[in-house]
Amino acid sequence: MKSIFHLLALLLVAASISAKGNDMKTSSSDKPAVNSQTATFGGGCFWCIEAFIEIQEGVESVTSGFAGGKTANPSYEDVCGGQTGHAEVVQVKFDPSKITYEQLLDIFWRVHDPTTLNRQGADTGTQYRSIILYHDEAQKLAAEKSKKEAASRFQGPIVTEIVPLTAFYSADKSHQDYFRNNPNARYCRMVIAPKVEKLKKH
């Protein structure tokens, strides 16, 4: 009789150990792989930069917003007033196995003029300044190296700021995917569309 109870006890212990092992395996395999990285930069109107970046393979998402200033949770109107210190920027989530930070920087230099201080075309003001906001030391070094390499492409000196990102504030929904959602808007037709087509050819 004791041997039967002993056998049953062993079977229960074995079953318990097996169940715990299966739970551990499930919880481990269920954890999603974290491969995405984040980049933040601005070069004029964020509608433009967003449109250029989001068509790149390996880019997972692009969010238009504000950074580089001191005012917390600014509105679009606040930033346009020029008193917040913020620039219009985009925050990019990307897969580094498909597109690298260095490649994003190369696109950044090609889609705006980094030699015009606080201006891109007809858009003027500190909110339209050229700026790279790095997330870590590796991005800082890559941005500085990229800036030096890009200098030969332009006649004037590059005035792009390279500063650490301290805070990013997303713009409201009406500013997200603006070009995609408003292709017939005058600004999209006259300014953004020609630049997007030019970028696609390179």
What is residue 191's predicted lDDT score, i.e. its pLDDT? 87
What is residue 194's predicted lDDT score, i.e. its pLDDT? 85
pTM of the model: 0.80
What is residue 73's predicted lDDT score, i.e. its pLDDT? 96
Q: Which residues contact 147 (CB under 8 A, 6 or more apart)?
A: 132, 158, 160, 162
Q: Which residues pair with 161 in a beta bridge?
A: 131
Mean pLDDT of successive 10-residue segments in the chain (202 residues)? 42 40 35 75 95 94 97 96 96 97 96 95 95 98 98 96 98 93 90 82 66
Question: Cα–Cα distance between 104 and 110 in angstroms, integer?
Answer: 10
Question: Considering 45, 48, 80, 188, which one is annotated as catalytic?
Answer: 45
Question: Cα–Cα distance between 90 and 6 in angstroms, integer?
Answer: 66
The residue to which tokens 């079953």 are assigned: 15
Q: Which residues pair with 41 in a beta bridge?
A: 90, 132
Question: Cα–Cα distance between 145 and 187 in angstroms, integer?
Answer: 33
Please say if 45 is a catalytic residue: yes
What is residue 195's predicted lDDT score, i.e. its pLDDT? 80
The runs of H, that is alpha helices, within 82-185 are: 101-110, 137-150, 178-181
What is residue 202's predicted lDDT score, i.e. its pLDDT? 64
What does DSSP say about strands 130-134 and 161-164: parallel, antiparallel, or unpaired?
parallel
